[in-house]
Amino acid sequence: MRQNKAVIGSAVGFIGVMIIILLIAKPSALIFGIQRAGLYAAIALPMALVLGIVHIVNLAHGEMMMIAAYLTYSICVAFGLDPLVAMVPTAVIMFFVGMLLFRFTIRYALKAPELNQLILTFGLAMVLSQGINLLATSQPRKLSVDYVTSSATIGNVSFGTYDFIFLAVAVIFLTGLMLFLKKTRLGKAAMAVGQNPVGAQFVGINVISTYTIIFAIASAMLGIMGAFFITKMSIFPTVGGAYTMKSFCLVAMAGIGNLPMVLLSSLVLGISESAVQSIPGGTGWSPLVFFGLIIAVILFRSYAKTAGVK
Amino acid sequence: MKKTLNRTFLIIGVLLLAAPLFMGPYAQSVARSVLMYLMLAISWNMLVSSGQLSFGIAGFFGLGGYASTLAIVYLGMPPILSLVFAFILVGAAAWLLGLVALRLRGMYFAISTLALAEIFRVIIHNWHGFTGGPNGKLLPKLIFDGASVPTYLLMAVLAAGTIAFSMWFRRSKFHFAVTSIRDNEIAAMSTGINIYKTLLMVFAVTSAVQGLVGASFANMYGFVTPESSFNMNYTLLPLAMTLLGGLYTTWGPVLGAVLLGIVGEYLKLYIPYGHLIVYGIIIVLVILFMPNGIVGLSGKLLNGFEARKKGEVQL
């Protein structure tokens, strides 16, 4: 617990210092960083849910979002819908895609060694991204929607306002999930299964179907995110890979099973990434900062853990 | 029984290695790429035998390619020497990175290796002055001036060396140490194995082999670019090959690489985009239905025959 407080403290401190520096040096980078953070958090939250309850690292996480984005794209092209309307069928379809994926593949690896689970989901990620490559080629695709270009100006800083929608989605996801896990019967059951599957089974909870529903809910959330993703970004078959790693990094930083901390860790990542990008010539290097952060965070977490065991 | 099995595989292997020499340049180039993946698969399998899952094959592969190319371009090293240089450099790099990364286990280690591969790519992509940035670097000339037979022989020697190393490894005390680490770290520690040191050694050596393969690839094709040298294929294919052939054996990766390498050549012709999906499907199916691969399956069948011969009924 004390360690957790230290983590929260250092995260808040880091964000505070960065905000002050950026406010003075480059306010637009700060706004951009916060919007980024929203995007990252919204994508990472489903992974946090799956990791916290099903205890599976889904290396196909980003690829599932990519699939959802392609799904939205094709629905929009086929029926001439707005992506934010096409979100509804996408989410429903993704719910069932997740359910099927879990039922027919991941379920059988639940009892297998962790190594097998990782290889399995890595294989799934490859199947998904190469499947899209086969069906839709690697040509980037984009939907042009007019409302995403809206902007606002404060003082002499102008910025896009639409991107704040990612932050809003992240907050809605988080509150929705917290309410679901704390208040509903199914959510409470899921919490119990996440804490102790054997014990949960003893008190009469169907563990496998709880896992399935949680995985399907996470997939539906990715479906929603995929629809938001395509309104702003262009998509191609390998677009998801980076988000898998980013999401894992954020969840590891937040601590597995700690959903609200995901929002905070996204702020750290988003702001520091956009800070590096705002340095002239730093754009190409910004992924490096992110990967450095991944490794630093993972190391810190694991050292803290082994120290705690002793 | 195991001995005869090994010996048969050995004879078949030598014949297969020699065969492309009489089959013209196309067969030799296919065989070269099969041997390349074979070495990657064997080295990955050796690390996995210790229970550490690495997704960083492409990273060390690309690093080796760049090490060799840059050594030739800037230092004027002869190609063969540059291969040795790449082997040593990548081994040293892996050892240093392993000092940190091998404190991690399971998913944390796996994701860190994935991130490491990406870090190498980003550094090389952005270091324009030294590495040529996104355009990569060209070699002044190919190894053996691009002659097909000596190049193939070189790859055959390297592959035979890797296989021999893997066989020696399976008989050495390292193998027992590594297997016990995979099975139970606490038990391994209490029998006096220095887990950290053993893993570090295995990680450095297997990564060095991957670097060597990358270096010979660069010398065969005469160029390196960040996108081609750090391509995800070099992680995906060896994984699929090892799994299909059989994890934790020497002959599994060999068998898998030969099978999938030849099949892959045809797939590339018929499905130019997205043929990699086949490897993904193989990974998923093998993990779900045949976790011991072909070698494990055939071993089980052979044991069944043995038992029946001895009159023991076994189901």
- Each residue of B188-211: pLDDT tens digit? 889 888 989 999 999 999 999 999
- Each residue of A159-211: pLDDT tens digit? 777 888 899 999 999 999 999 999 999 999 999 999 999 999 999 999 999 99
What is the number of domains present in chain A?
Answer: 1
CATH code, A78: 1.10.3470
Amino acid at the residue A13: G
CA atoms of A155 and A163, how far apart (whole Å): 19
The arithmetic mean of pLDDT across residues B263-272, rounded, is 82
Write phi, then psi, for B137 (nearest 5 degrees). Answer: -130, 145
The CB density around residue A5, as the number of other CB atoms within 10 Å, is 9
Predicted pLDDT at A304: 65
Position A310 pLDDT exceeds 50: no
Q: Give the ipTM of the model, two decimals please.
A: 0.84
Position B39 pLDDT exceeds 60: yes
**Of the ranges A114-118, A208-212, B232-236, B310-314, which is most confident?**
A208-212
Position B74 pLDDT exceeds 60: yes
CA atoms of A47 and B128, how far apart (whole Å): 36
Q: Which residues contact A200 (CB under 8 A, 6 or more apart)?
A: A189, A192, A193, A207, A210
SS3 labels along chain A:
CHHHHHHHHHHHHHHHHHHHHHHHHCHHHHHHHHHHHHHHHHHHHHHHHHHHHCCCCCCCHHHHHHHHHHHHHHHHHHHCCCHHHHHHHHHHHHHHHHHHHHHHCHHHHCCCCHHHHHHHHHHHHHHHHHHHHHHHCCCCECCCCHHHHCEEEECCEEEECCCHHHHHHHHHHHHHHHHHHHHCHHHHHHHHHHHCHHHHHHCCCCHHHHHHHHHHHHHHHHHHHHHHHHHHCCECCCCHHHHHHHHHHHHHHHCCCCHHHHHHHHHHHHHHHHHHHHCCCCCCCHHHHHHHHHHHHHHHHHHHHHHHHC
CA atoms of B185 and A182, how far apart (whole Å): 37
CA atoms of A238 and B9, how far apart (whole Å): 39
Predicted pLDDT at A114: 84
Q: Which residue has the tokens 């299909």?
A: B244
The CB density around residue B8, as the number of other CB atoms within 10 Å, is 10
Q: Report yes or no: B50 and B169 within 8 Å, Cβ to Cβ.
A: no
Predicted pLDDT at B313: 46
Mutation target to probe the A interface, by most A beta carbons within 10 A, among B108, B185, B237 is B108
The arithmetic mean of pLDDT across residues A61-69, rounded, is 94
Per DSSP, B23 falls in state: S
- Which chain B positions have a beta carbon within 8 Å of A105's beta carbon? 284, 288
**For residue B110, what is the nearest residue in chain A, using CA coordinates?**
A118
Decide if A245 and B104 are in contact by the 8 Å CB cutoff.
no
The arithmetic mean of pLDDT across residues B216-237, rounded, is 89
CA A38 to chain centre: 10
Q: Report yes or no: B274 and A130 within 8 Å, Cβ to Cβ.
A: yes
Q: Which residues contact B84 (CB under 8 A, 6 or more apart)?
A: none
Amino acid at the residue B92: A
Pairing of strands A157-160, A151-154: antiparallel
Position B305 pLDDT exceeds 80: no
> Over pLDDT 90: what percentage of chain A?
40
**Distances in whole angstroms, Cα of residue B32 to Cα of each of A6, B26, B38, B262:** 54, 10, 10, 11
User: Higher confidence at residue B44 or residue B303?
Assistant: B44
Position A309 pLDDT exceeds 90: no
Considering only the beta carbons, identify the residue of A105, A130, A294 that sits closest to B274.
A130
- Residues from A in contact with B at Cβ < 8 Å: 57, 105, 108-109, 112, 114-116, 118-120, 122-128, 130-131, 133-135, 137-138, 238, 245, 248-249, 252, 284-285, 287-288, 291-292, 294-295, 298-299, 301-303, 306
Give the gap in angstroms from C-alpha A67 to the nearest C-alpha of chain B.
15
- Which chain A positions have a beta carbon within 8 Å of B271's beta carbon? 134
CA atoms of A19 and A1, how far apart (whole Å): 27
- Which chain A positions have a beta carbon within 8 Å of B281's beta carbon? 123, 127
Q: What is the mean pLDDT of chain B?
A: 86
A·B CB contacts under 8 A: 121
- Each residue of B164-183: pLDDT tens digit? 899 898 888 888 898 898 88
Angle at B243 between CA B228 and CA A127, to 5 degrees: 55
- Each residue of B25-38: pLDDT tens digit? 888 888 888 999 99
Per DSSP, B22 falls in state: G
Q: Report yes or no: A272 and A223 within 8 Å, Cβ to Cβ.
A: no
CA atoms of B152 and B138, how far apart (whole Å): 21
Residue A236 belongs to domain spanning: 2-309
CA atoms of A208 and B98, how far apart (whole Å): 37
**For residue A125, what is the nearest residue in chain B, using CA coordinates?**
B280
Per DSSP, B315 falls in state: -
Position B309 pLDDT exceeds 70: no
Q: Which residues contact A273 (CB under 8 A, 6 or more apart)?
A: A33, A36, A286, A289, A290
CA atoms of B24 and B33, how far apart (whole Å): 15
CA dihedral sign of residues B94, B97, B102, B106:
negative
Predicted pLDDT at B293: 84
Task: Output the six-digit token pair for A278.
Answer: 């705002």
pLDDT classification of B315: cutoffs 50, 70, 90: very low
Considering only the beta carbons, identify the residue of B110, B119, B291 that sits closest to A118.
B110
Position A140 pLDDT exceeds 60: yes
Q: What is the mean pLDDT of chain A?
A: 86
- Each residue of A223-245: pLDDT tens digit? 999 999 998 888 998 888 889 88
Decide if B103 and A303 are in contact by the 8 Å CB cutoff.
yes
Rg of chain A, C-alpha, whole Å = 20
Overall residue count recorded for chain A in this entry? 310
Predicted pLDDT at B29: 85
The arithmetic mean of pLDDT across residues A4-18, rounded, is 74
Three-state DSSP at B138 gives strand
Per DSSP, B272 falls in state: -
Give the gap in angstroms from C-alpha A154 to the nearest C-alpha of chain B.
35
